[in-house]
Amino acid sequence: MGRGKVYLVGAGPGDPGLITLKAMECLAGADVVVYDFLANPALLSLAGPEAELVYVGKQASDHTLSQEDINRLIVDLARAGKVVVRLKGGDPFVFGRGGEEAEDLARAGLDFEVVPGVTSAIAVPAYAGIPLTHRSLASGVGIITGHEDPTKAASALDWEKIATGLGTLVFLMGVKNLASITERLIGAGRDPATPAALIRWGTTPNQVTLVSNLGDITAVARERNFQPPAVLVVGEVVNLRPALNWYERLPLFGRCIMVTRTRSQASRLSRTLSAFGARVIECPTIRLAPPEDWGPVDRVIHRLSDFDWLVLTSPNGVDFFFERLRVNGTDARSLAGVKLAAIGPATAERLASFGLRADLVPDEYVAEDLVRSMKEIGVNNRRILAARAAEARDVLPRELRAAGAKVTVVALYQTLTPEGLTPGAEEALSRGEIDLVTFTSSSTVNNLVRLLGDRLTDFRVRVTSACIGPITARTAREAGLKVAAEAERYTIDGLVDAILNYFRRQA
């Protein structure tokens, strides 16, 4: 058994892009991840597939484990020889009780490291357009807990010094005690007209910012039923928000978009939409699987020199094809003398990752345009291998054969329907939160329709869709779905542009 070790890791304030490189390395090497309520669940995907995930989140009046039990858990795991990541929202040493956990580990004689995180005290105001310091407005900052240890006989805070000694005050976990905090500050000399802001779920697409003044903010928060978790900022710097509020002005901020691509393909689309402020729900409606029989693929691999052209119709097809070359003990050299056609730039880019350049990429990225482009070159008596998904449309081989080509079709993979919707999609659907769903192929449409089942009627009414091209859009309309946006360029970038244009028209 190896010697255990605990990494006390700051997960950052909510935006998964704010996690540090060191934290990512720790997650990748963890045997166990013990994580909090405020740690973004998206970060858990950075852990290895064999890592055990243990939730110990604590919310007001709802503690999965007490702090003492959490301390005992990470000590026991380390003693058992595990590499443990204790993933904590924000920074572990800024009101994260990381100091207490480190003390217990030190007393037990166990190895540990502290990996600082971006604290919400700084990041959340920044995402609300509120700088904590400003040359003309604030030369000092105080970061204060809004929830002191309830077992202490008296407050450890010197309210008179806090109230008037610093330009900007930031209170963490202060919503529950908001009335007490504002009363104490005003009673200790802070002007009730001082600008104040509450920021809930800061740095995430669910961010909500409430601006008032110190004297009124409690009443306004109560009126709007403002709930934790939130950060309270008090100071003249709050007045800079109208000019500096960059995040909530992103074009997709406040929009909830469901991405239906396969899990391996969703990341680029999801990242791009998130960068424009959207809340992205990944719900793969396609599960890729090998063909039922590799025999036809293996047979053509052993006679690739017989073909004039190899046609590949998706990046997935490229991956499956080259993996099968490897299994058969060969590589790209077996394609010497064979011309390569790719249905679009994404497929051509994937070919390039294997050191090969596509000889033909049509202007429009659909089978019909690929056929047209090949016919212009001349396909009569040409031997063409079309390697693609088992469920692909028949347009390509039918039209090429009609033009005199000798076409062999092999299935490199199957596109299957997953067993169900992801939990995140289930929850967002039940709450009616999804504004738009993206479709990148007819299969994504058809499979989502099957997965929705009895909920399809309500989905048709509530949710609009964005489609990567006319074929996919036609499939969506035939399924009774509303198509709000259709990409003019049949690429991920084209799809994102169509989505942005649609929501600009809605503004």
Question: Catalytic one among 58, 375, 406, 482?
Answer: 58
Contact criterion met (CB below 8 Å) for 110 and 101: no
Q: Which residues contact 218 (CB under 8 A, 6 or more apart)?
A: 178, 179, 182
Active site annotation includes 1: no
Contact criterion met (CB below 8 Å) for 480 and 491: no
Q: Which two tokens stand for residue 408?
A: 């062999």
Our CA dihedral for 394, 398, 399, 405, rounded to 10 degrees, sits at 130
Question: Catalytic one among 5, 15, 31, 36?
Answer: 36
SS3 percent helix, strand, coil of the chain, rounded to 5, is 40, 20, 40
Half-sphere exposure of 351 (CA within 13 A, CB side): 22
Kindly provide the b/e burial profile for residues 287-307, where b requires at least 16 CB atoms within 10 angstroms of the residue's own CB: ebeebeebeebeebbeebeeb
Contact criterion met (CB below 8 Å) for 226 and 212: no
Contact criterion met (CB below 8 Å) for 438 and 465: yes
Contact criterion met (CB below 8 Å) for 219 and 472: no
Q: Give start and end residues of each alpha helix (H) in 198-277.
A: 217-223, 241-244, 266-275
User: Which residue type does 43 have?
Assistant: L
Taking phi over 0 as left and psi of -120 to 50 as alpha, with beta for the rest, 164 belongs to alpha
Cβ atoms within 10 A of the Cβ of 211, count?
A: 19
**Burial class, 364, CB count within 10 angstroms (exposed 0-12 / middle 13-18 / buried 19+):** middle
User: Which residue type does 485 have?
Assistant: A
Kindly tell me the number of DSSP H helices and DSSP E strands found in the chain.
Answer: 19, 22
Greatest Cα-to-Cα distance within the chain, rounded to the nearest angstrom: 92
Of 86, 93, 105, 106, the closest CA to residue 26 belongs to 86
Q: Give start and end residues of each alpha helix (H) in 281-314.
A: 295-301
Active site annotation includes 58: yes
Residue with tokens 């970038």: 493
Question: Catalytic one among 5, 31, 88, 173?
Answer: 173
DSSP 19: S
Active site annotation includes 394: no
Q: Which residues are part of the catalytic machinery?
A: 36, 58, 173
